[in-house]
Amino acid sequence: MLTERSRRIGEADIMNKKIYSIGGLFDTPDSIIHAAEEAVKEGYTKFDVNTPYPVHGMESAMKLKPSLIGLVTLFVGLSGAAFAFMFMYWVSVVDYPLIIGGKPFFSWPAFVPVTFEVTVLSAAVGTVAVMIAMFFKFPNNAHPLHDTNYMKHVSSDRFGLNVVAIDPLFDESKVKDFLSRAGAKDIEIFYEPERKPIRVFDPKFIGLLVVIATVTAGVTYFTLNKLLYMPPFTWMAEQDRLSSQSQNAMFTDGFGMRNPVEGTVARGFTPYEFKGQPDSVVRNLSNPLPFSKEVIDRGKMRFDTYCSPCHGYFGKGDSRLNGQFPNPPTLHSDKVRNWPDGNIYHVITNGQNVMPSYDKQITRDDRWAIIHYIRVLQRSLNAKDTDLETKK
Amino acid sequence: MEYQKKELPDKVKNAGFLFAGIGLLLIAVSYLLDPRREAFNNIIGLTFFASIAIGALALVALEYISGAVWSVPFRRVSEFIASSLPLVLVFAIPLFLMLGMLFHWTHPEVVSADRLLSGKSPYLNIPFFIGRTIGVILVLYVFYALFTRNSRKQDESKEQGLTRTNVKLSAAFMPVAGIGLTLLSIDWIMSLEPHWYSTIFGVYYISATLLAGLAATTYASVSLNEAGYLIPGVNKDHYYSLGALMFAITNFWAYIAFSQFLLIWYANIPEESIWFVMRWEGGWKYISIILIFVRFVIPYAGLLSQPSKSDPKRLKQISIFILIAHFFDLYWLIMPTFSKTVVFSFYELGFPLFVVGIVILAFFYQTKKHNLVAVGDPKLQRGLDFHL
């Protein structure tokens, strides 16, 4: 009674459904090849063959044209290669040039492995994606052949041929007739599946989301807060060394790092022997740098960085700080102009009045370069008449 | 369908004599005019010849060990090409007499003044050097003799156990051939610059060797099959497999060659990078750039598409091209030691022509004695039924 009723409902459903294809099952690879040849002879173009393993000679029996998917692979692969190469060029030459291993910024041999990897990756992923989108008509995940007796067999022990309804010669009875003539055993009609709307607020789905969220959060919490504090994961953190912000029990002052021995000189550093002494004792120091364009350019750069905030870009003492502090002095005064280089060096190194010492900020050579530049500024405002004569 | 043994026409023999004759003439003239230069070309000739013969032998062993069936119908072609293997020693004999002219580690006063060379002298000394070359060729020849003896016996007896014996032999052959080719390449090519070393160099030569053996086999197989000397049944799918293998090994060569270059370029250690600097100065730069195209880009593009791998005309062109490229590769490896500037004239042509002639003649005389198809091989029918 019940089965009778469900069968009738099933039939009623079928009446409203669209036919997708008609398929038949064959027993041997030879018979399926023969059937495919017959289908071609019959004039069918939209038919497909399903076999449990690749049957040799099927392509020529079905008169399949070479697939165009290779062109997709080529195009996506070349695009990936071009993208990877240009991206690396942009990163390492245009946007963030770094010297690595003394090599030029555009070191193309180093780009080759990454370009190769991206080419392979994009070609593979692109091919699969295009295949799914074009041939499986993504996001259709309910193919009419799914869950059928036909599919059950063609994926294990038998060979199937099905003629799809979009074929221009498709006619239900003619196709059935053709299949039985070709030797098919079980002929089946496949219908387009009914498309059910997807319900986002399905309680089962929501419940699943909640379970996933809880599990993820729990595992994350356990890993980060508990697991990492258990041995053996703690072995790396617990080592024989002084952690930061903790006291050293070995030395009485409690510091982990030892101060260098009194009088230690850092590598490449020349101590200033007149530190804290009156400027009169250093007048005989002379500028070791040559008076060249490179040195003056360097001096200008350093002057603009460190001196100009107070003394102004031209050394006139007219910077924007003028009026907020005791006014910085001009460097064009007779006093400064007549100072020997050593005296200016002493002031930069030692500081004077409000001006702090700059020996930590400006290296020794840069100080001398600045002094050359100050001399240039001074000369420019107090040019002698002889300077105006053209050089002969 | 049955295999019918046919005699190869005399024009094959004549071509062989023509190549060998012209080559020998050029070699003789060149040795008279500039012995040192021709000795370097002799090394190119030796390594070129060894590549073709050992590469073909490696293909035979590869077929046995991998259980391949598609290559059985033309395995004999590889065997016949490999039959020229002992003649490689003939190429080495004049060089043994001139080692002092070629390798500066042969001079005791140089070695004793040089710490690196004295450290290497337990390996780089003349008796061991000569012993290694003779030893490698002879050991590989023993394998050749065993493989072919079993295979020929099988032609009569159809005994399947002989195939099994050869499978075991090929398993032993693989490491021996790998080490042997590494030794040959280190001795004859790398030790020209005894301070320089590259740990991948043996693999570089092995990839080139496989490619050379395969290209020679492909050219001969396709030509013989088109003229009807092989067993009927060899079709496009067999051609496709030959093409695909050539394509694969071309890529393998490029991978190895680039790996060698990238690591040396990246580390930039003077004693390693000097080797590439030598190949970037005095016009060698253009040879290096041309090599990339000749050895990789052109064969790659020529074999990339599916139809081109099964097109007999294309296969013959590409396999000849690959052999020329292999010669060009060896020229690039060896000649910068001889000359700081690029030199190329008739001196360089003698040895490749001679080698080609010798291989053709060796092949021709083998076909007179033996079947061109391994008719007794149990895999032959499956090989003929092979479909992609």
pLDDT for the residue numbered A60: 85
Q: Locate CATH 1.10.760.10 in chain A.
A: 279-383
Q: Establish if B284 belongs to a structural domain.
A: yes
Q: In which band, very low, low, confident or very high, does the pLDDT at A171 lie, cut at 50, 70 and 90?
A: confident
Across the strands, what pairs with A25?
A: A160
Are A26 and A58 a contacting pair, CB within 8 Å? no
Residue holding tokens 């740098």?
A: A289
A54 touches chain B (CB under 8 A): no
Q: Establish if B174 belongs to a structural domain.
A: yes
Residues with Cβ within 8 Å of residue A339, at least 6 apart in sequence: none
Angle between helix axes A341-350 and A364-381 (nearest 10 degrees) is 130
Residues with Cβ within 8 Å of residue B341, at least 6 apart in sequence: B282, B283, B284
C-alpha angle with apex B266: B265 to B272, nearest 5 degrees?
50
Select from 1.10.760.10, 3.20.20.450, 3.40.50.720, 3.40.50.11690 the CATH code of A279-383.
1.10.760.10
Question: Does the pLDDT at position A3 exceed 60?
Answer: no
CB nearest to B306's CB, from A66, A103, A109 = A66
Best probe of the A interface among B251, B260, B265, by most A CBs < 10 A, is B265
Contact A110 B261 (CB under 8 A): no
B263 touches chain A (CB under 8 A): no
Helices of type H across B189-281: 201-226, 236-267, 270-278
Quick check: helix, strand or coil at residue A188? strand
Q: What is the pLDDT of residues B133-161, one digit of tens each?
A: 999 999 999 999 999 999 999 988 988 99
Name the closest residue on chain A to residue B387, using Cα atoms: A56
Percent of chain A with pLDDT over 70: 92
The terminus-to-terminus CA distance of chain A in angstroms comes to 124
Best probe of the B interface among A56, A78, A114, by most B CBs < 10 A, is A56
Question: Does the pLDDT at position A388 exceed 80?
Answer: no
Contact A112 B388 (CB under 8 A): no
C-alpha closest to that of B51 among B366, B333, B343:
B333
* Chain B residues closer than 8 Å to A112 by CB: 258, 262
A56 touches chain B (CB under 8 A): yes
Residues 307 through 336 of chain A touching chain B, CB cutoff 8 Å: none
Contact B266 A57 (CB under 8 A): no
Q: Establish if B388 belongs to a structural domain.
A: no
CA distance B3 to B332: 43
Q: What is the pLDDT of residues B331-383, one digit of tens each?
A: 999 999 999 999 999 999 999 999 999 999 999 999 999 989 999 899 999 99
The arithmetic mean of pLDDT across residues A331-352, rounded, is 85
Q: In which band, very low, low, confident or very high, does the pLDDT at A270 lie, cut at 50, 70 and 90?
A: confident
B301 touches chain A (CB under 8 A): no
Across the strands, what pairs with A47?
A: A163
Question: Does the pLDDT at position A341 exceed 90?
Answer: no
Are A364 and A289 a contacting pair, CB within 8 Å? no
* Chain B residues closer than 8 Å to A110 by CB: 262, 266
Residues with Cβ within 8 Å of residue A328, at least 6 apart in sequence: A310, A311, A312, A317, A319, A321, A322, A355
Q: In which band, very low, low, confident or very high, does the pLDDT at A391 lie, cut at 50, 70 and 90?
A: low
Residue B315 CB neighbours (<10 A)? 25
Report ipTM (2 d.p.).
0.80
Residues 78 through 137 of chain A touching chain B, CB cutoff 8 Å: 101-103, 109-110, 112-113
Contact A110 B266 (CB under 8 A): yes
Query: Does an H or E element contain B330, and which?
Result: helix B312-338
Q: Establish if B4 belongs to a structural domain.
A: no
Counting one residue from chain A and one from chain B, the pairs whose CB atoms sit within 8 A come to 19
pLDDT for the residue numbered A390: 66
Residue holding tokens 């009446």?
A: A15
Q: Establish if B363 belongs to a structural domain.
A: yes
Rg of chain A taking only CA atoms, in angstroms: 43
Sheet with A159-164, edge to edge strand ranges: A47-50, A159-164, A19-26, A187-191
* Chain A residues closer than 8 Å to B305 by CB: 70
Best probe of the A interface among B235, B266, B276, by most A CBs < 10 A, is B266
Contact B262 A110 (CB under 8 A): yes
> What total of structural domains would you count in chain B?
1
Burial of B58 (0-12, 13-18, 19+ CB in 10 A): buried
CB nearest to B266's CB, from A56, A66, A101 = A101
Q: What is the pLDDT of residues A277-335, one digit of tens each?
A: 776 677 677 788 888 899 999 999 999 888 888 888 888 887 777 777 777 888 888 88
pLDDT for the residue numbered A14: 55
The arithmetic mean of pLDDT across residues A247-253, rounded, is 86
Residue holding tokens 């910077």?
A: A319
B261 touches chain A (CB under 8 A): yes
pLDDT for the residue numbered A8: 46
Query: Does an H or E element contain A190, and which?
Result: strand A187-191
pLDDT for the residue numbered B215: 97
Q: Which portions of chain B are predicted below pLDDT 50? A: none
Are B73 and B230 a contacting pair, CB within 8 Å? yes
Q: What is the pLDDT of residues A367-380, one digit of tens each?
A: 999 999 998 888 88
Question: Does the pLDDT at position A216 exceed 60?
Answer: yes
Quick check: helix, strand or coil at residue B88? helix
Burial of A121 (0-12, 13-18, 19+ CB in 10 A): middle
pLDDT for the residue numbered A2: 44
pLDDT for the residue numbered B15: 95
Contact B387 A112 (CB under 8 A): no
* Distance in Å, alpha carbon of A77 to nearest chain B alpha carbon: 14
CB nearest to A109's CB, from B265, B305, B388 = B265
Best probe of the A interface among B280, B288, B388, by most A CBs < 10 A, is B388
Q: Establish if B2 belongs to a structural domain.
A: no
Q: Which domain holds residue B379?
A: 10-383
Q: Establish if B186 belongs to a structural domain.
A: yes
pLDDT for the residue numbered A13: 54
Q: Establish if B370 belongs to a structural domain.
A: yes
Residue B260 CB neighbours (<10 A)? 19
Quick check: helix, strand or coil at residue A236? coil
pLDDT for the residue numbered A392: 54
Query: Does an H or E element contain A162, and which?
Result: strand A159-164
